Amino acid sequence: MEEKEYRLEVITPERVVISEEAEFLVVPAWSGELGVLKNHAPLVAALRIGVMRFTIRGQTRYAAISGGWLEVTEDKVMVLADTAELGAEIDIERAKAAKARAEARLASAQEEINMVRATMALQRALSRIKAAEAEMEYRKQSAPH
Ligand code: ATP
């Protein structure tokens, strides 16, 4: 492991999404965007639905997460999320369809509980679209010309 690297693990109830040596991480905490470099003070923070960005061997990558927890300890940084997808594995068409469904539900008058669910589904879909597009854009920019 290089001097500036730390172990980054992103785990959902279904799978280990990331288990790598990383240099930098930015997560959507409830308190705002939170950046983590090596030797960050120990911390637990609640996360929102959103996009996380991380750097591995100088390459920036993106993932969509549906809320959860960040835990920074002395030897590693863990993100525990209900769901998490790497930018490259996101099915954009599926996310766009989920976005359209959630918007249609929000447009129709329904019970409040369904509105909360639709709002969260919309946020997940938007995060997935954003993470997938950011990943594609980064790859395009960094591809050899
Ligand atoms: P959908 O209505 O498309 O299922 P959702 O927001 O209800 O979207 P979730 O319940 O959050 O989906 O996720 C269910 C599973 O599907 C999780 O494993 C999640 O990682 C995966 N997933 C959801 N949307 C996508 C997507 N667009 N691309 C890849 N995997 C996805």
Is the CB of 63 within 6 Å of ligand 1?
A: no
Side-chain half-sphere CA neighbours of 29 within 13 A: 17
Choose which CATH entry (3.40.50.620, 1.20.5.440, 3.40.50.1400, 3.40.50.2000) describes domain 90-142. Answer: 1.20.5.440
Residue 104's CB: how many other CB atoms inside 10 A? 10
Q: What phi and psi values does residue 86 have, to the nearest 5 degrees?
A: -70, 150
Q: Does the beta carbon of 98 lie inside 6 Å of ligand 1?
A: yes
Q: Can you give the pLDDT at residue 75?
A: 87
pTM of the model as a whole? 0.95
Contacts of residue 82, defined as CB under 8 A and 6 or more positions apart, other chains included, come to: 12, 13, 66, 67, 68
Q: Strand, coil or helix: what is 75?
A: coil
Structural domain spans, the chain: 6-87, 90-142
Mutate to test the pocket of ligand 1, among 15, 94, 130, 133 (most ligand atoms within 8 A of CB): 94
Residue 101 tokens read as: 């469904």
Fold classification of 6-87 (topology level): ATP Synthase; domain 1 (2.60.15)
pLDDT averaged over consecutive 10-residue blocks of the chain (145 residues)?
91 98 97 96 97 96 97 96 97 98 90 90 98 96 83
Domain 6-87 shares a fold with domain 90-142: no
Taking CA atoms, 143 is separated from 55, 125, 136, 137, 140, in Å, by 16, 27, 10, 10, 5
